[in-house]
Amino acid sequence: MSDFDPVRIGLVSVSDRASSGVYEDKGLPALREWLQRALKNPLAFVERLIPDEQATISATLVELVDAERCDLVLTTGGTGPAPRDVTPEATLAVADKVMPGFGEQMRQISLRFVPTAILSRQVAVIRGRALIVNLPGQPKSIAETLEGLPKAEPPVHGIFAAVPYCIDLIGGPYLETHDEVCKAFRPKSAVRAPRTAG
């Protein structure tokens, strides 16, 4: 019996070429590896590798939240300005609420590296009791976006620091992180006392 709440996480890699077998998908392994490093909770992953089709992306997000009961869904790929990049549109189409701060912070982090970060269109939304976040396509960018730049001057917060409290507020499980990877921030009143094994 774990001392931590179990968490179901949906992982979606959106790529025409990877989904058709032209090249190996690197998005799903990168997401899985980072989450396993960052979270203390027992994790169950529900993974999907799909093409850049808006209806397919929306249907996949609905399936992961409504049928698979995922608490958190992370997507990678399809967030640029090219004609086939429709992940943000597909995500907004299934949203109950839009959470613009996530996209703003992701672009702030990426701007430390490339001026073309302003071309990224990642969004985050709430659907039911789940948080859905669009992440960049490159594994290195995924980690930077989630983790932030703690050694930068001044340090830049990663978006994942805000994810556990967001999930608290929408009625999901209590996510606990390994501080050396990503220190979750909660107001003092929202911090749960450490459980003792009994």
Is there a domain that residue 2 lies in? Answer: no
- Total domains in the chain come to 1
Domain membership of residue 196 (yes or no) is: no
Q: How far apart are the first and last CA of the chain?
A: 10
Q: Is residue 107 part of a domain?
A: yes
Structure pTM?
0.95
How far, in Å, CA of 168 to CA of 121, rounded? 26
**For 147-182, what is each residue's pLDDT tens digit?**
998 888 888 899 999 999 999 999 999 999 999 999
Chain position carrying tokens 């907004």:
92
Question: 11-48, pLDDT tens digit by residue?
Answer: 999 999 999 999 999 999 999 999 999 999 999 999 99
Residue 195: pLDDT above 70?
no
CATH number of the domain to which 153 belongs: 3.40.980.10
**Domain that includes residue 115, residue range:** 7-190
User: What are the backbone dihedrals phi and psi of residue 120, each rounded to the nearest 5 degrees, phi first?
Assistant: -80, 145
CB 85 within 8 A of CB 52: yes
